[in-house]
Amino acid sequence: MSVWVEVIVPVGAADVDDIAALMVEEIAAAAAGTEQRGDEVVFWVAREDAAAALATTRDVVTRWQANGAAVDPARVKLADAVPEAEWRDAWKKYFHVTRLTRQFVVVPSWETHTHRPDDVVIDLDPGMAFGTGTHASTRLVIEELQDLADRDISPNRVLDVGCGSGILSIAAVKRWPSATCVALDNDPLAIDATVDNASINRVADRIHATVAPLRELGDEKFPLVLANIQAHVLRELMTELIEHVSSYGTLVLSGLLTPQAEPLAKEFVAAGMRLLKIRPSSDDPQWSSVTLAR
């Protein structure tokens, strides 16, 4: 079991939301999510990565301070996180059955759910570094999956880039029982989480999770490509992402702060894609997704 450390960034009260969003965007170790505790924003790293994460965070905070944000790099600090077993128990107080869309429902192991006939149930517990579908960026992609399903689009092959917990891969193959999925992430812990969650959801035989980079997929093309990662990474991967979308296929981009969505969409259009929609989150409008077609 991993030993976790908190990276704590004290923030002026008026800037907490903005700094939390910037941390997810600009600090790779915070990309999996942050927690706001009053005037502090917190994210977690494995103990062996703590020193590097602290140094990186202080460097970034120094730049934000120079630009006028109410932050002080000298106050950024580390603290021992609650042991993972206790942390998971704490989640039980407020993480319950969550209906993400008309069909997609996330159910933690400690809860029961009487499902509707057409529910797609995703059995998923919180993980220290991985999502559960409650973050707006993840929910936006789930909403796009629902929209595709409602339009009777049935991809038989899915690519999930930056798979994290595997929630998007699992959602896709459970909604489309004939589909298989390739799930990529550069973090071995994310791959372990995806494999474990796929097994729990009884779809391990239809999800291939790997740390292999996009370029190692060869020339395979997918009718549906999902990429819920930071804007600068989406920009770096743009050519490769487009290359792996089949003719008339769909590409869903998320992990985008709303001001980033339209400029990034224009870059993908200039590279040959067609823009279908930019969707702001109804839960948290600071996040948006972009859906494009080949």
Give pLDDT tens digits along the chain (294 positions): 457 889 999 998 778 878 888 888 788 888 767 778 888 999 888 888 899 999 999 999 999 999 888 999 999 999 987 666 665 666 666 677 889 999 999 988 788 888 899 999 999 876 554 566 777 889 999 999 999 999 999 999 999 999 988 999 999 999 999 999 999 998 887 888 899 999 999 999 999 999 999 999 999 999 999 999 888 889 999 999 999 999 999 999 998 889 999 999 999 999 999 999 999 999 888 889 999 999
In the prediction, which pLDDT does 129 show? 45
In the prediction, which pLDDT does 54 show? 94
In a domain, residue 22? The reply is yes
Give the range of the structural domain holding residue 18, as residue numbers without chain letter: 4-81
Provide the CATH number for the domain around residue 273.
Answer: 3.40.50.150
In the prediction, which pLDDT does 244 show? 97
Alpha-carbon span 19 to 64, nearest angstrom = 9
Alpha-carbon span 127 to 166, nearest angstrom = 11
Same domain? For 251 and 169 the reply is: yes
Same domain? For 186 and 257 the reply is: yes
Same domain? For 43 and 168 the reply is: no
In a domain, residue 28? The reply is yes
In a domain, residue 244? The reply is yes
In a domain, residue 233? The reply is yes
Same domain? For 160 and 286 the reply is: yes
Same domain? For 238 and 168 the reply is: yes
Same domain? For 187 and 49 the reply is: no
Alpha-carbon span 52 to 286, nearest angstrom = 28
Instruction: Report DSSP state, residue 184.
Output: E
Of 81, 108, 140, the one marking the end of a domain is 81
Same domain? For 145 and 275 the reply is: yes
**Axis crossing angle, helix 16-26 with helix 50-66, rounded to the nearest 10:** 130
Q: Taking a C-beta distance cutoff of 8 angstroms, is the pair 9, 34 a contact?
A: no
Alpha-carbon span 257 to 24, nearest angstrom = 10
In the prediction, which pLDDT does 83 show? 66
Same domain? For 153 and 276 the reply is: yes
* Number of domains, the chain: 2
Alpha-carbon span 247 to 13, nearest angstrom = 48
In a domain, residue 111? The reply is no
In a domain, residue 23? The reply is yes
Using DSSP bridges, classify how beta strands 4-10 and 35-37 pair: parallel, antiparallel or unpaired.
Answer: unpaired
Of 63, 81, 99, the one marking the end of a domain is 81
In a domain, residue 239? The reply is yes
Same domain? For 264 and 144 the reply is: yes
In the prediction, which pLDDT does 92 show? 67
Of 46, 65, 81, the one marking the end of a domain is 81
Four-residue CA torsion sign, 175, 137, 122, 181: positive
